[in-house]
Chain A
Amino acid sequence: MKNVVIGRYIPGHSFLYHLDPRTKIMALLILMAAAFVVDDIMHLLIGLALVIGVLLIGKISIKRVYLGLRPLMFLLIFTFVFQVLFNRQGPVLYEETLYYSPITIGLVVLTVVFWGFTKKFIRFRLLYFLLMLFTILAILSLIQEPLTFRTGAFVVHEDGLRLAFFIMVRLIIIVTLSTILTITTKPTDLNLGLEQILKPLKLVRINAEEVAMIISISLRYIPTLLDEANKIMLAQASRGVDFEEGKLKEKVVQIVSLLVPMFIISFKRSDELANAMEARSFVPGQPRTRLHVLKWKLNDSIIIVFSLTILITTIMARVLI
């Protein structure tokens, strides 16, 4: 639980920390747009290299960002596998006949069951999962015998593979960029930046200040709530709840025993937060002065120009090539 990096500020010193939050938010949006515009895998990889460059220059440990990506790993792998299996466009890269027979299907089921039982003891679960998929493929394609009642084909199309890889890299870039923003920006600064950027929304009767406040409070409370959840789990474990085991019915009780205190504590917390804010004369919608006023520096302009250059280049690349 402690490894969740998204939304958590980590103190440090580098040029990223000293940028105006507005710059960082705008640069994030621009670069995300660029990542969506790119349609060439080489360009996207260049983008990834640039992102890693930013991490290195910004002295953000790549390990931390990787830890933040880990919860998304399942999603990444899933989209990858899905794309490879079901995308049927473009030239065929690889083709293999699959033989379905009672024996091969039985073996596949055995493999899955074996994987299900042994995955707990394996450290690199993702690799193990891939190994399982590979084994299933091998069984279906290699064992050929008279009982075969149906043959199928495993086809990898170029587009499928490319798109799968593409989506994966794109997701990694986007998540890494947003992680950089939250790691290097204090929630209060983020709030301020968002507020300033969303100010024009006043024209459509949306109060940017409130929206910014809601967003920043939510971000701020993610780690706190995780800590709370951890404490509740310990307290319930003290009363004999074994969160790692149990049948379905017990699981339901376990989750309820975690969620109910979670809700109660969250409501209580928000109540207290509201009181604390009001005690310091916070009135929603009222104009407020700032202790820290954002100052636009040269560095900020450079970053914005740089980001815009990247966006324009990607658009040009797409239009021209």
Chain B
Amino acid sequence: MAIKFERVSFQYKGIDNKGYLALSDVNLQIDKEGEFITLIGETGSGKSTLAQHMNALIQPTEGRISLFGLKIDSTTKKKKKIKLNPIRKKVGLVFQFPEYQLFEETVEKDIMFGPKNFGMSTEDAKRKAEEMIEVVGLHKDYLSRSPFNLSGGEKKRVSIAGILAMEPDILILDEPTSGLDPLGRNALLEVFHRIHTTLNKTVIIITHDMNTVYQYAKRVLVMREGVLVYDGDPLKLFSRGNIDKWNLDVPDILSLTRDLETSFNITLSPPPRTRQDLFKALEEALS
């Protein structure tokens, strides 16, 4: 297991010293390879906090985490000997807002920043930057531009390229598609899917988009008020009754499938996850 959470709780210290429990008693295991996980839940349910535990940016106030064999608990921060930095190369975390990380003069330098911090040579980092800018769907010309003159979506792509260039084993993305147009969103999701399938890397996506969850995820984690309330198959999740209670809704494809099933009186099995699958299944069922 690459990532293992054992009874992990995390408390933010708030005003008046009243703690705010952002995570409570989370147990979780994530493999280094082959997982495509989406992490969903309302705003403020602890998704981002959970993600930040996964590359040791913050340490639990209770419980233990094991990250690639490195044990982390509430005392870790005080021990100077424990180096947390190498973990951040293994688990790449892309933050929600690219503004928090872009700072170099050119896009190229910014993408090179992460890899160079982890000891990659300048030439290699340059090559990585050229490779990754295209992976995220931007033209090579962008490399010489200033990251501050880009549109929101372009900034987002650059920040993702900056993490991809570090070649992490596990890739975590905090709402990677927010602020993107539908075409750009789908293209980017395909990129993550391709990284997952071709390199067999584990990808974790925090999202509010149920369609993403349904279409791509092999596994879904649902957070609610700091508690991990669901961990398992997306289809089972949406077939259960209490998704309303968790403020989730049914993915478009699934509700369409259900409508079609009732109006044509057919069953599409297994339930199609993409539009193409739906067309195919429908053709078969109706012919």
- Is B80's CB under 8 angstroms from A120's CB? yes
Interface positions of A from 221 to 270, Cβ below 8 Å from B: 228, 231-232, 234-242, 256-257, 260-261, 264-265, 268
Question: In the assembly, what is the distance between CA of A231 and CA of B118, in Å?
Answer: 21
Nearest residue (CB) in B for A63 is B17
B43 contacts partner chain A, Cβ-Cβ < 8 Å: no
Question: In the assembly, what is the distance between CA of A120 and CA of B166, in Å?
Answer: 31
Question: In the assembly, what is the distance between CA of A264 and CA of B103, in Å?
Answer: 9
Q: What residues of chain A lie closer than 8 Å to B166, measured between beta carbons? A: 239-240
Q: Which of A228, A238, A260 contacts B103 (CB 8 A)?
A: A260
A11 contacts partner chain B, Cβ-Cβ < 8 Å: yes
B111, chain A: closest CB distance, angstroms: 10
Question: In the assembly, what is the distance between CA of A144 and CA of B55, in Å?
Answer: 56
- Is B100's CB under 8 angstroms from A239's CB? no
Question: In the assembly, what is the distance between CA of A85 and CA of B93, in Å?
Answer: 52
A62 contacts partner chain B, Cβ-Cβ < 8 Å: no
- Give the total of B residues in contact with A, Cβ under 8 Å: 29
Interface positions of A from 95 to 134, Cβ below 8 Å from B: 120
A205 contacts partner chain B, Cβ-Cβ < 8 Å: no
- Is A234's CB under 8 angstroms from B95's CB? yes
Q: Which of B13, B15, B92, B148 contacts A238 (CB 8 A)?
A: B92
A10 contacts partner chain B, Cβ-Cβ < 8 Å: yes
- Is B15's CB under 8 angstroms from A232's CB? no
- Is B85's CB under 8 angstroms from A261's CB? no
Question: In the assembly, what is the distance between CA of A237 and CA of B58, in Å?
Answer: 11
A242 with B163, Cβ < 8 A, contacts A11-B15, A235-B100, A268-B99 known: no
Q: What residues of chain A lie closer than 8 Å to B92, measured between beta carbons? A: 238
A257 with B95, Cβ < 8 A, contacts A10-B15, A241-B117 known: no
Question: In the assembly, what is the distance between CA of A90 and CA of B95, in Å?
Answer: 61
A239 with B113, Cβ < 8 A, contacts A10-B16, A120-B80, A234-B95 known: yes
Interface positions of B from 74 to 125, Cβ below 8 Å from A: 80, 85, 88-89, 92-95, 97, 99-103, 113-114, 117-118
Q: What residues of chain B lie closer than 8 Å to A241, measured between beta carbons? A: 117
Q: What residues of chain B lie closer than 8 Å to A2, measured between beta carbons? A: 13
- Is B88's CB under 8 angstroms from A237's CB? yes
B150 contacts partner chain A, Cβ-Cβ < 8 Å: no
Q: Mark A1-30, 1 if CB is under 8 A from B, else 0.
A: 010000010110000000000000000000
A261 with B103, Cβ < 8 A, contacts A234-B95, A238-B95, A239-B163 known: yes
Question: In the assembly, what is the distance between CA of A87 and CA of B208, in Å?
Answer: 66
Q: What residues of chain A lie closer than 8 Å to B117, measured between beta carbons? A: 239-241
A177, chain B: closest CB distance, angstroms: 21
A235 with B95, Cβ < 8 A, contacts A240-B166, A257-B103 known: yes
Q: Which of B15, B57, B113, B163 contacts A234 (CB 8 A)?
A: B57
- Is B99's CB under 8 angstroms from A261's CB? yes
- Is B99's CB under 8 angstroms from A265's CB? yes
B41 contacts partner chain A, Cβ-Cβ < 8 Å: no
B52 contacts partner chain A, Cβ-Cβ < 8 Å: yes
B23, chain A: closest CB distance, angstroms: 16
- Is B15's CB under 8 angstroms from A261's CB? no
A264 with B99, Cβ < 8 A, contacts A238-B92, A238-B93, A239-B162 known: yes
Q: Mark A26-61, 1 if CB is under 8 A from B, else 0.
A: 000000000000000000000000000000000000
Closest 6 CB pairs of A and B: A240-B117, A260-B103, A239-B114, A235-B100, A235-B101, A235-B95
Using a CB–CB distance below 8 Å, which chain B residues touch chain A? 13, 15-16, 52, 55, 57-58, 80, 85, 88-89, 92-95, 97, 99-103, 113-114, 117-118, 148, 162-163, 166
What 7 new A-B contacts, CB under 8 Å, besides A238-B94, A264-B99? Answer: A11-B16, A231-B100, A240-B85, A241-B117, A260-B103, A261-B102, A265-B99
